[in-house]
C-alpha cells in the first residue's frame, strides 16, 4: 500500500509550534503552582519531578531513539519492534514499582516515592511515541504533545478547584498527562507496531542502544554546569548565569523541531545526499533559529537590565556569549541526530562525551576566577568543538556517499514500506 508522508518542512513547523505552545502551558502551570503553595513545598515537588524525569531517561537508555531509527530504516521487522516495546514496558512497570515501594517503605522518603510513578508514565508515553517518530509523523507527535500538556493543565485546575493542594496537584497532573498521551499515541500507531501480549515473545529492548544511552547520560551530566559553578564560583555567579541561561530556549525549540523531524528522514534515506532532498525545503527553520540567536546577542545589553533589573547587568555579557554559542548549537543538533541515524552513533557519542568533559573541566578551572562568564565560555567552547568534530564526521559521510554513487551498484528498495513524500505542505 502506498502511504503519503508529509514533507519535512510541514512536520518541522507543526512540531515547533506545538513545542512552543506546550512550553507556555508548562510555564503557566508552574506559575499557578508557585502562587498556590510555599517555596519549600514546591521545592520538594519540583525536586521529585526532576528525579522522576531523570530516572525515565536512565531507564530508557537511548532505546526510543534506536527504535525510531530501526523503523525508519526498515531493517527490523515490525513484529520484533512490537515485542521489544512490550518487553520494555513490562520491565519498566516492575522496576518502577520496586523503586516506589523501596522509597516509600524501606527508606521512608515520604512523598518522594511519587518520582517512580512520574518516571513510569513519562517513559511509557515516550516509548509509545517511538514508532510514530520512526514512521516520519512528527506532526502527530506535536498533536500528542499538546494533548499531554492540555491534560496536565486541566487536571491541575480540576484538582486545585476541589481543594487538593497545589504541590500535590502538580505532580499528579504531570503524571496524568503522559498517561493520556500514551493512550493517544497507541491509537495513532499502526496495529503491527502496537504493544500486545498476544503473540508476544520477550525481546531485549536495549539491544544496540548503548551509544544512544551513553549520549543521553552525558547530556544529563552537562546540566551539572550550574551546580559546579555554584560550588567553584559561589551562589552569586550561579545566579547571574542561571538568570539568563534559559533565554535561548526559543532557539532550541526551533532547531530541535527541525532536528527531531529530520532524524527519521535521514535514517530512511540511508545517506545524506538522499536525505537532503527532503531537508532542503525546511532548512530555513535552522536559519530562523540562527537569526533569533543573532538578535538576542545584539539585544542582550538592553534586554537584561530592562527585564530583570540593573542588579543582573553582568548577566548581559553571559547572555551575549550564550546567544553566540547557540549559532553552532543549531547545526550541532542536526549533525548529531543525522550521525546517529546514519549508524555513526558510536562515533557521535564518543565525541560528545569527550567535549562535555572538557566543558565541565573548564568550569572547574576558571569558574572561581571568571564566575558566570566562565560557564558561558565553557558552553561556547563546547559548541564550537562539536561543530568542528561533527562537521568532520558529516563531511566523511558525504564523501562516502559520493564515492558510492560513482561506483556501479544496484538500486535498493525498502521492502517493509513504500511511501511517497508530499511536498505540497
pLDDT in tens, 72-102: 888 788 888 888 888 998 998 888 888 878 7
Q: What are phi and psi of 399, to 5 degrees?
A: -65, -40
What does the block give as the cell for 335?
549533525
Q: Given a cut of 90, is residue 419 above it in pLDDT?
A: no
- What's residue 404's pLDDT? 61
Asked whether the CA dihedral 119, 120, 122, 126 is positive or negative, the reply is positive
Confidence of residue 111 (pLDDT cuts 50, 70, 90): low
- What's residue 168's pLDDT? 80
Q: What are phi and psi of 194, to 5 degrees?
A: -75, 155
Q: How many CB atoms lie within 10 A of CB 229?
A: 28
Q: Given a cut of 70, is residue 417 above it in pLDDT?
A: no
d(CA 267, CA 69): 6
d(CA 74, CA 51): 35
SS3 88: helix
Bridge partners of 419, per DSSP, are: 3
Q: Given a cut of 50, is residue 62 above it in pLDDT?
A: yes
Confidence of residue 180 (pLDDT cuts 50, 70, 90): very high
Measured between its terminal Cα atoms, the distance across the chain in Å is 22
Q: What is the mean pLDDT of the chain?
A: 82
Nearest to 376 by CA among 390, 362, 393, 365: 362
Q: What number of CA atoms fall less than 13 Å from residue 57's CA on the CB side?
A: 15
CA 252 to chain CA centroid, Å, is: 10
What does the block give as the cell for 362?
573548564
| Maximal CA-CA distance, the chain | 72
- What's residue 15's pLDDT? 86
Q: Given a cut of 90, is residue 260 above it in pLDDT?
A: no
Tell me the whole-structure pTM to 2 decimals.
0.77
Amino acid at each position: 500500500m502506498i502511504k503519503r508522508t508529509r514533507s519535512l518542512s510541514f512536520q518541522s513547523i507543526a512540531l515547533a509550534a506545538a513545542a512552543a505552545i506546550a512550553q507556555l502551558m508548562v510555564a503557566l502551570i508552574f506559575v499557578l503552582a508557585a502562587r498556590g503553595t510555599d517555596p519549600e513545598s514546591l521545592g520538594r515537588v519540583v525536586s521529585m519531578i526532576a528525579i522522576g524525569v531523570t530516572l525515565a531517561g536512565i531507564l530508557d537508555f537511548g532505546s526510543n531513539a534506536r527504535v525510531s531509527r530501526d523503523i525508519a530504516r526498515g531493517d527490523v521487522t515490525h513484529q520484533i519492534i512490537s515485542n521489544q516495546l512490550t518487553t520494555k514496558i513490562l520491565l519498566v512497570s516492575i522496576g518502577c514499582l520496586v523503586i516506589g515501594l523501596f522509597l516509600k517503605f524501606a527508606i521512608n522518603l515520604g512523598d518522594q516515592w511519587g518520582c517512580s510513578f512520574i518516571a513510569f508514565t513519562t517513559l511509557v508515553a515516550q516509548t509509545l511515541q517511538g514508532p510514530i517518530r520512526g514512521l516520519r509523523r512528527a506532526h502527530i507527535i506535536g498533536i500528542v504533545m499538546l494533548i499531554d500538556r492540555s491534560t496536565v493543565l486541566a487536571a491541575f485546575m480540576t484538582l486545585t478547584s476541589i481543594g487538593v493542594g497545589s504541590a500535590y496537584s502538580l505532580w499528579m497532573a504531570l503524571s496524568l498527562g503522559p498517561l493520556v498521551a500514551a493512550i493517544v499515541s497507541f491509537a495513532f500507531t499502526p496495529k503491527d507496531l502496537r504493544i500486545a501480549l498476544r503473540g508476544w515473545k520477550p525481546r531485549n529492548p536495549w539491544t544496540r542502544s548503548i551509544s544512544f544511552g551513553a549520549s543521553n547520560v552525558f547530556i544529563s551530566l552537562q546540566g551539572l554546569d550550574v551546580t559546579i559553578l555554584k560550588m567553584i564560583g559561589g551562589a552569586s555567579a550561579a545566579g547571574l548565569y542561571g538568570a539568563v541561561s534559559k533565554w535561548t530556549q526559543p532557539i532550541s525549540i526551533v532547531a530541535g523541531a527541525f532536528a527531531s523531524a529530520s532524524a527519521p528522514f535521514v535514517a530512511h534515506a540511508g545517506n545524506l545526499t538522499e536525505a537532503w532532498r527532503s531537508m532542503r525545503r525546511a532548512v530555513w527553520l535552522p536559519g530562523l533559529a540562527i537569526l533569533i540567536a543573532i538578535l538576542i546577542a545584539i539585544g542582550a545589553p538592553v534586554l537584561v537590565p530592562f527585564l530583570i533589573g540593573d542588579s543582573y547587568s553582568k548577566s548581559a555579557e553571559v547572555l551575549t556569549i550564550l546567544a553566540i554559542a547557540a549559532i553552532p548549537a543549531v547545526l550541532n543538533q542536526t549533525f548529531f541526530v543525522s550521525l546517529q541515524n546514519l549508524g555513526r552513533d558510536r562515533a557521535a557519542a564518543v565525541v560528545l562525551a569527550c567535549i562535555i568533559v572538557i566543558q565541565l573541566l573548564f568550569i572547574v578551572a576558571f569558574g572561581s576566577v571568571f564566575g558566570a562568564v566562565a560557564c558561558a565560555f565553557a558552553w561556547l567552547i563546547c559548541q564550537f568543538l562539536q561543530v568542528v568534530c561533527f562537521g568532520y564526521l558529516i563531511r566523511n559521510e558525504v564523501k562516502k556517499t559520493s564515492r558510492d554513487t560513482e561506483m556501479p551498484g544496484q538500486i535498493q528498495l525498502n521492502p517493509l514500506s513504500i511511501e511517497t513524500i508530499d511536498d505540497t505542505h
